[in-house]
């Protein structure tokens, strides 16, 4: 039903419909004109009640059998996870410390410091058109949250999500973030009644109870508190988060509002919000002022971007120089081999005279003077002496060409197994090639030194990812 309603609404916005099939509908944002079908395409109240019945029953059971937990170990685990190198663990920590949804942390939300334990939150989902920001409590010092959130949003994994739809972000990362939730908090927070595993939704419930313990007012119910600080617009939704309660190490319920006096204390300024300055002298300062445009912060960003582009170009240049050096080494080796072959052949002047052979195709393809002149297609099916060496050389060159400009995690390590599969040679042939060309084996050892032992794991067949250089012509494996 929802898909049909959306399709009709989209069509109504794009095409003019006759007045006979249009009606006016009052909404929170005013009167809208929409297709008459939308007036009748609705499920009845009985249908919605039946669909919601299991959720309602579960919520009632959870509110009647709340789970007790000590809030302080939970907060400590979250603060420790803020400095993790795994963005999913950082996301789980911020969800607990702020009570926000995963997609709000990953994409739509933002925080601004208010005081020592409060931040202004914007970008709430499921807000029904209400886009205003509002203050929320933070379960750690606000400057720690702001700095961690700023670092988190600057990571490559999170920056890549900013242009995607919220639903795509939600479906892609919810499972992995829930796994991080269980790894971080599994030992200090149990799942509520009816939930088999701890999840990000449970962290929102835990957040409400911890924040109520730290900053609540005894006269205000926890349901009202949840309604205000989770951004819900009705008491029914807020009641879904009443499945925990805070206790101390002795198992007794904790007091309410124990840190309210800290809200008036002067907060520490986040490093991320401090003014960006540089301290340089003389000619260096003049060069900096002449570089780029904008504020010091913007110029520093431009310099860092330029440095990153320069590093990428340096990697490509290094890879090209390696391929050039390898090609030159092969040329010298082939020249030396050709001289040895010529010296070993008997002189044609003293060869016994024989009847000229009839003009026909040679019994085998002659060894080329320069292997680089043989096309990929001819080399691929060739078995003449020396062809295996050239296949291996072109395979090394192909991997280097493929890796050029890629991030380290996307590159291939040049291992004997990769060379064996790309060249079509057996393991002994590759081993023999590297033993005869010590300088190439040493070059590959240096080339692979930055890769882990499992660099090529799960990458599949290298022939599906790369080919010999097109400079030698088109061909099929």
Q: Is residue 210 part of a domain?
A: yes
Helix axes 200-215, 222-229, angle to 10 degrees: 110
pLDDT of residue 99: 94
Together in a domain, 143 and 83: yes
Residue-wise pLDDT for 162-196, tens only, equals 888 888 888 888 889 999 999 999 999 998 887 88
Range of the domain at 11: 2-60
> Which of the 8 DSSP states describes residue 108?
I
Judgement on whether residues 162 and 86 belong to the same structural domain of the protein: yes
In a domain, 294, yes or no: no
The structure tokens listed for 33 are 């004109």
Write out pLDDT tens, residues 458-468.
Answer: 788 899 889 89
54 with 88, same domain? no
419 and 372 housed in the same domain: yes
Question: Is residue 477 situated within a structural domain?
Answer: no
> Do 364 and 385 form a contact (C-beta atoms < 8 A)?
no
Q: What is the pLDDT of residue 142?
A: 95
Q: 337: closest CA among 386, 373, 383, 374?
A: 386
- Together in a domain, 47 and 105: no
238-247 pLDDT, tens per residue? 566 778 899 9
Same domain, 87 and 56: no
Q: Determine, yes or no, domain membership for 414.
A: yes
Please, what are the averages of pLDDT over each run of 10 residues along the chain (477 residues)? 83 78 80 84 81 70 80 96 94 96 92 95 76 90 95 89 85 89 95 87 93 93 85 60 87 92 90 58 67 75 80 71 70 74 60 49 64 88 89 92 83 92 92 91 88 83 88 84
Q: Cβ contacts of residue 264 below 8 Å, gap of 6+?
A: 115
Residues 448, 410 share a domain: yes
pLDDT score, position 362: 46
Domain count along the chain: 3
Same structural domain, 72 and 51: no
- Phi-psi label, residue 460: left if phi above 0, alpha if psi -120 to 50, beta otherwise: left
């Amino acid at each position: 039903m929802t898909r049909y309603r959306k399709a009709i609404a989209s069509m109504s916005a794009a095409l003019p419909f006759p007045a006979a099939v249009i009606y006016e509908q009052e909404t929170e944002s005013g009167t809208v004109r929409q297709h008459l079908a939308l007036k009748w395409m609705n499920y009845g109240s009985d249908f919605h009640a039946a669909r919601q019945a299991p959720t309602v029953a579960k919520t009632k059971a959870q509110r009647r059998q709340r789970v007790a937990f000590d809030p302080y170990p939970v907060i400590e685990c979250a603060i420790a996870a803020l400095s993790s190198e795994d963005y999913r663990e950082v996301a789980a920590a911020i969800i607990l410390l702020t009570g926000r949804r995963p997609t709000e942390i990953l994409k739509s939300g933002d925080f601004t410091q208010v005081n020592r334990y409060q931040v202004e939150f914007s970008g709430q989902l499921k807000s029904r058109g209400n886009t205003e920001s509002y203050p929320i409590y933070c379960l750690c010092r606000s400057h720690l949250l702001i700095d961690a959130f700023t670092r988190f949003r600057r990571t490559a994994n999170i920056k890549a999500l900013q242009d995607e739809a919220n639903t795509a972000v939600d479906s892609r990362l919810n499972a992995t973030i829930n796994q991080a939730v269980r790894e971080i908090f599994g030992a200090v927070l149990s799942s509520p009644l009816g939930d088999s595993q701890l999840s990000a939704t449970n962290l929102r419930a835990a957040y409400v109870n911890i924040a109520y313990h730290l900053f609540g007012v005894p006269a205000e119910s926890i349901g009202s508190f949840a309604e205000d600080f989770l951004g819900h617009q009705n008491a029914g939704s807020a009641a879904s988060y009443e499945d925990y309660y805070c206790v101390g190490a002795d198992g007794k319920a904790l007091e309410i509002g124990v840190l309210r006096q800290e809200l008036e204390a002067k907060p520490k300024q986040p490093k991320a919000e401090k003014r960006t300055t540089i301290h340089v002298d003389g000619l260096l300062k003049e060069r900096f002022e002449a570089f780029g445009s904008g504020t010091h912060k913007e110029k520093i960003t431009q310099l860092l971007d330029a440095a990153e582009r320069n590093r990428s170009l340096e990697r490509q240049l290094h890879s090209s120089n390696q391929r050039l050096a390898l090609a030159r080494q092969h040329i010298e080796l082939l020249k030396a081999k050709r001289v040895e072959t010529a010296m070993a052949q008997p002189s044609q002047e003293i060869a016994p005279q024989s009847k000229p052979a009839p003009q026909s195709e040679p019994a085998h393809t002659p060894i080329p003077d320069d292997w680089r002149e043989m096309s990929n297609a001819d080399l691929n099916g060739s078995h003449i002496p020396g062809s295996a060496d050239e296949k291996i050389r072109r395979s090394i060159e192909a991997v280097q060409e493929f890796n050029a400009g890629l991030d380290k995690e996307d590159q291939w390590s040049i291992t004997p197994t990769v060379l064996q599969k790309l060249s079509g040679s057996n393991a002994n042939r590759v081993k023999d090639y590297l033993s005869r060309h010590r300088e190439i084996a040493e070059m590959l050892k240096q080339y692979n030194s930055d890769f882990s032992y499992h660099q090529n794991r799960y990458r599949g067949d290298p022939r599906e990812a790369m080919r010999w250089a097109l400079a030698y012509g088109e061909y099929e494996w």
